[in-house]
Structures are given as structure tokens and as C-alpha cells.
Amino acid sequence: MHLLIVEDEAKTAAYLRRGLQENGFRVDVATDGVDGLHRALEGTHDLVVLDIMLPRLDGWELLRQFRAAGRETPVLMLTARDGVNDRVKGLEGGADDYLIKPFAFSELLARIRVALRRVQSQTDSTLTVGDLELDVLTRRAVRQNARIDLTAREFALLWLLMRHAGEVLSRTLIAEKVWDMNFDGDSNVVEVAVRRLRRKVDAPFGRPLIHTVRGMGYVLEQR
Ligand code: CA
């Protein structure tokens, strides 16, 4: 899941980014309203966390323009004020939920998951390749009726491979998507992670789904 945080306070933004990444989300941060609107309109995010008091364009106006452009991505607003008018204004303006600052990180995480679930329940949240199933909301993998426990990174890696089942994904692309990092040619972080994932997803079940394509990368498919 890919989130956009629009927040001008550097400390808060860094704290949210770190916490959400630790929970397996990919996170982009915009530090003013104009940049935030542009990033949101790119349409690559599954949810937007939006502060109200922002330089250049405030959260209300960002939200108004975003919805006016026909975008339905869930938006969770962060407000320092707790006036009833602000809440009503936010919800009427097309926010899906709001949180009053200061808030506990666990509360934000719970609200994000609820908002994502609401959207995802309108579509099927389960990916299936062969006898392997991955529920992207509960983050549970099941193969031949056996539950496979995944770490946040393993989940992100498996999810990427399953979303692109049948396509060869390069190590560079995997590193970028799963670790949000620029690929260092000497780094074997992807190989190590794939090896670990195979031990859980393939090894106990006889028939491998994750295949190495020499010199190119990896592909998940039923052969
Ligand atoms: Ca602010």
C-alpha cells in the first residue's frame, strides 16, 4: 500500500513516515499544499493523510480541488483544532475521516487500515496464483490450506511479485518498490529477501512459484 502524507512540520512528517514504513507501507511526503495536490493527482496513492494548516494551499482547498478533479482516493485529515465546525467541514468537503492532533500513532494506523478496508471491500482483496493466496488487508498468505506468517518486508515483496505474476521483475525495480531505495549494485538485499521468502512460500510445498530468471530478475508464476 502506498500512502501520501501532506504535512509541513518536518518532525511530524518524519515520525509518520518512519512509523508507517515500519508497518509495511510505502510512503511519500509532501511539505506544502501545492506539492501535495500535485502528488495526490498523480493517482498512485491508496490513501492521503492530509494536514489542514499548510503553506501555499491549505488542506481544505487541496481536498476541494482533489475531489473536484473526480478523485476518490480516501483522505484522512489531521487537525489541530477540535471544533465541531471543522469536523463537519472536513467530512462535507470529502474527507473520509479525521484525527485530532496530538494523536497516538496506533490510532492513526487503525484509522488508515479501516479507510483502506472500506475501499478494498468494494473489490476483492485476495490475490491468487496457483494454490497460493494472499489477502492484502489481513496480510495473510495461505498455501494448500497452510497459513504462512510474513514479516512486513516479506509481505511487501510477495505482494509485488503476485501483483505482477508472470512478469519478470528486476532486482532494481524490486529494491525500489519494496525498500524505497536506489539500487546499489553490490547490495544483495533483494537476493537475501527472496531466498527467505522462498523458504516460507515454496520450500514446504514442493512446487516452486518463485523463479529466478538469470541475469534479469525474478518472476512468480505457476509452471
Ligand atoms: Ca501544519
Q: What is the pLDDT of residues 16-63, one digit of tens each?
A: 999 999 998 999 999 999 999 999 999 889 999 999 999 999 999 999
pLDDT band at 184 (very low <50, low <70, confident <90, very high): low
Lowest-confidence region among 25-39, 139-153, 173-187, 208-222: 173-187
C-alpha 5 – ligand 1 centre gap (Å): 11
Question: In the numeric block, which cell numbers belong to residue 193?
Answer: 529477501
The pTM for the full model equals 0.58
Do 111 and 131 lie in a common domain?
Answer: no
Helices (H), the chain: 10-22, 33-41, 59-68, 84-92, 105-120, 152-163, 171-179, 189-201
Do 114 and 140 lie in a common domain?
Answer: no
Contact assessment for residue 39 and residue 50, using Cβ atoms and an 8 Å cutoff: no
Residue range 76-92: average pLDDT? 73
Do 11 and 96 lie in a common domain?
Answer: yes
C-alpha 87 – ligand 1 centre gap (Å): 16
Residue range 150-161: average pLDDT? 93
pLDDT band at 120 (very low <50, low <70, confident <90, very high): low
**pLDDT value of position 55:** 96
Q: How far apart are CA 5 and CA 31, in angstroms?
A: 8
C-alpha 53 – ligand 1 centre gap (Å): 4
C-alpha 79 – ligand 1 centre gap (Å): 8
Do 90 and 190 lie in a common domain?
Answer: no
CA atoms within 13 A on the CB side of 133: 13
CATH number for the domain spanning 61: value is 3.40.50.2300
C-alpha 212 – ligand 1 centre gap (Å): 46
C-alpha 140 – ligand 1 centre gap (Å): 36
C-alpha 191 – ligand 1 centre gap (Å): 40
